[in-house]
Each structure stands twice: as C-alpha cells, then as structure tokens.
Amino acid sequence: MSLADTITDWRRGATIYQIYPRSFADSNGDGIGDLPGITAKLDYVAALNVDAIWLSPFFVSPMKDFGYDISDPIDVDPIFGRLADFDALLERAHALGLKVIIDQVYSHVSDRHPWFQESRASRCNPRADWFVWADPKPDGSPPNNWQSVFYGPSWTWDARRGQYFLHNFLPEQPDLNTTNPEVQAALLSIARFWLDRGVDGFRLDAVNFLMHDEALRDNPPELEDRPKTRPFDFQRHVHNQSNPRIAEFLERLQAVVDERPGRMTVAEVGGDHALGEMREFTRGPRRLNTAYGFDFLYAADVTAERIRAAMEGWSPEQADGGWPSWAFSNHDTPRAISRWWSETACEAAARLALLLLVSLRGNIFLYQGEELGLPQAEVPFERLRDAEAIANWPSTLGRDGARTPMPWSRTAPHAGFSTNAPWLPLDPRHAARAVDVQVDDPDSVLSFARRALALRRDRPELRQGGLRMLAAPAPLIAFERGDAGAPLTCVFNPGEAQAVDFPAPGRRVLLGVCGVEPGPAPGRLGPLQGYVAETL
C-alpha cells in the first residue's frame, strides 16, 4: 500500500512535490531538464515522504512562456522527451507509491496552436469563434482598457482578421473562448486523454481567467494605495477575469475527472478576490477538490495574522466549505526564505518554514529545492530568460531566480544537473547545498525535511485535523491541530532577533527546530525556533 493510500481520501492532507521539468535533471546533456531525468530521480523524491508530484508543463510549446504557451496539449515537447518517456515516468512513480498530477492550461494556448492558426485565417472558418476576437474602436484603438498580466494591453491586432485578439498574458498566448461549447468539449477531450493515460489529477492554471465579460466593459481603476509595478496593477480586474460562468465549466470538468475515482483537481487562483473564487470553485461535491492560493506566495513576511486570515477563510464550520492547498514557494514567485528572512538566517529559516508548512491545515505543495533550503538564486540581467522578469527588471525579483537548476552534486560540473551549461546559471550558494552534501548528514536541512514530512504523514491531526489559533505574544505563531481529545500544539518564532516566552506545560515536543529537541516543551522560544508537540 502506498503512503498516499494510508488515509481514506489522499486528496485531503496530501503533500505534493512540485517539479519544474526544465530545471530538475537533464539526462541527455543539452542543458535542459527532461522526463527521463525526472524518472531517474524519483527514488529521491519518494524518500522525502511526499504523496504526489506535480509536473509543470512538458507539452509541445514554442516556449515563449516556458511551456505555458502550448501548441500541442496531448504530446511531449522533444526537449523533454517523448510520450513513451512520460509513460515510463508515470509507471515508475506509481511503483514508488507516488501520485502524478500534471498541469492543464485551459484559458489560453500558443499562437502556434493549429486551433489559433485556423481561427485567425478568416471570420468564417470552423474555429473562427474559438478565440476572443473583437473589432477596434472607431479610432482603431483596442476594444477596451484591459491590461495583460506581464505588460501592456491585453489586445493584439491581427491583420488577417482585421480584428484584435485577447491575451491576458503574452501576445503569443491568445485566450480561448471557453464560453463556446465546442471549445469546452475540446478541452474535456484533452483531460480524458491524460486521465486515460493514468495521471492522478490536474493542477488547473489561471482558472479565474477562463472566461470574460462578453460586453467587453472597461475595468475600473485600482484606487487602493499599494505598489504598482505593471499596467495590470492599475486596474480592478472585474471584467477580464472572475466570471461567474467559470464554475459551470469546472463542474463539467470535475464530472469527467470523477469518472475515475480518487483523481484530484486543484485550481490555481490569484488576484484580489482569490479567496471568494477559490471557495466558489470548490463549493459542494460537484466542483473541484481543492484550490491553490497565493496567500503566502507573494507575501513579504509570515505572521500570526497572515496565518489566521488564511486559515479562517477555510473554516470547516462554513457551509459547503472547500479544502485549501498551500505553498510558500513555486516557479512563479521568489523563494520564501529570501522573501521572509535575511541571508544569514537561511539555514535556520529553511527548517522553520518547512515545519510551519507541514503543520498547516490543507494540502501542501513543496517546491523543488525547498527541502534543501535553497535561497532565491541571483541571475544577472544578461542571463535572464523569462519575459516577465526582463520586462519588469529591476522592479521585481522575477521568476528566473526560482527556476534555476536543481543542485545534485557539489563537485560535479554544473552541480550534477547536466553535463553541459544549463539554460539558467547555477548559483554557487546552491551548489554548496547540493543533495549529495546533505543526503547522509542527519543534521542537514534535507534530513530535517524528511523528518517533518514523515511527521505529517504519520499524524492524522496534521493531515486532516482542524486548526485553532492560540493567543501568543508577537512575533509568535501558535495554533493547535486536531479536532478532539489531545490536539497537537504548534508554536513558531519567525523573528530573527528576540526570544519570546510561551509556557506550554504538559506538552512533549515531537519535532523542533534550531535547538528545540524532543522532550518537554520549552517555555521560551529563541529566534527562528519552533516545535510541534503532543499532550502528555
């Protein structure tokens, strides 16, 4: 029996390890990670005590957005291997007891996709209405004021149609018209293809961009006083996303997924109204299993109030309450330990962040390298590859610094990721934290990560129990996990400078960080100390 099957429903309380294929392991020496490389490292992943892996896109793509611009959604891009390589990966993962979740991108495709090539050819072909086309204003300007996530207007002129097409991301990523029943049927066919192949679920990219206001009304300005680094930030996105009809399509999708019991769906939802949308997309038995929010992914710090707000949004007492998923880092955001703590605190902060993450109520996503304590990599401007990072440099840290190659060996060329120069440069600080440096060291961050993830696997209080915040002096974060009897007590001091008193008599530490050892719970927590304790 696999670890994922030891709980009645593995989809509640799962630990999912995110793999960014370009940067995980390169098997053929071209400097780009691939599917055979992932397969060769699955024993390492299984030893982490996780339940599943999530693979970011590996489909055929021109790679303008590194795989999120898909030109063939039912085949593997040659840089990653072949469809047979995916089948081999899936077989090996299942043999190790790992579920496999893959990305699905339904809001847009690549402009190289045959659907778009046909749609743009004329206004009267079979796929003419498969994308969002609109006439210009009388003065020739775009149909409305919508702005793309990356930069500039959401509209690009196409001379063949004599119209603008909508793209909420890059111009090379035209938006599908998912209100069209034929488009929906085509998307569901893609889902069936991968389900029939044996995948265990889908992470659904940019779900709240799936549909738009058909009247194409202008978005109102964003009047809240907050940092604005892109044109996108100057608007309230009430018409180009978050359409109420999205939930209807998600019910159709979930019905397809539910034809194969035990498969998972998780929605990625960002934006100003993410909590309400996530709850709507997961409300009741006919919608998605869980939603993946940005409560921590862009946060500048981690505090008790931030934890409280995130958890209260998913209170089990709320009617039709959905199930949340949490992540501190991923391929789109700077790594959490670099956002929340100083460089000198890196080692201790990595442990504290890991223990805090495994203690949260919901599913958790661990991004490759978090288990090694990798900080955000430094990538010089001339080596940046990501369009968003280049466009917004130096206002944001960008995404490339979180996407650099996984370090496997400290002394091997390119840290063992590849035999040739990788697509993004390796940060020397990462090589010093390589897997081979840590794997046999009982005091390493990697060894601690394994213990923390095993604790979550073995304790039902952490996987599926309730969460109740405890009163504690700042900057402490304190809560209980468990629904009845003797809940676990979880206490963390994310501060780097001060010790704080928190008496917890009658508690025995199961796992602690930064000098907190198993045994009686301490009454005072120093900087970056924390623990999970049971009642004696």
Catalytically annotated residues: 205, 259
Q: Are 324 and 278 a contacting pair, CB within 8 Å?
A: yes
Q: Are 97 and 3 a contacting pair, CB within 8 Å?
A: yes
Q: State how far the Cα of 267 lies from the Cα of 245, in Å rounded to an integer.
A: 15
Q: Collect all residues with Cβ–Cβ distance below 8 Å to 148 and sequence separation of at least 6.
A: 154, 167, 168, 169, 170, 171, 231, 232
Name the residue among 203, 327, 316 with its Cα closest to residue 263. Answer: 203
Q: Are 31 and 418 a contacting pair, CB within 8 Å?
A: yes
CA distances from 312 to 130, 452, 470 (A): 40, 24, 13
DSSP state of 411: S
Q: What does the DSSP assignment read for 290-347? A: EEE--TTTS-S---HHHHHHHHHTT-TTSTT---EEEES-BTTB--HHHHHS-GGGHH
CA distances from 433 to 238, 258, 355, 363, 529 (A): 44, 41, 19, 27, 21
Helices and strands per DSSP (H, E), number in the chain = 15, 21
Bridge pairing between strands 99-104 and 201-204: parallel
Name the residue among 1, 7, 13 with its Cα closest to residue 456. Answer: 13
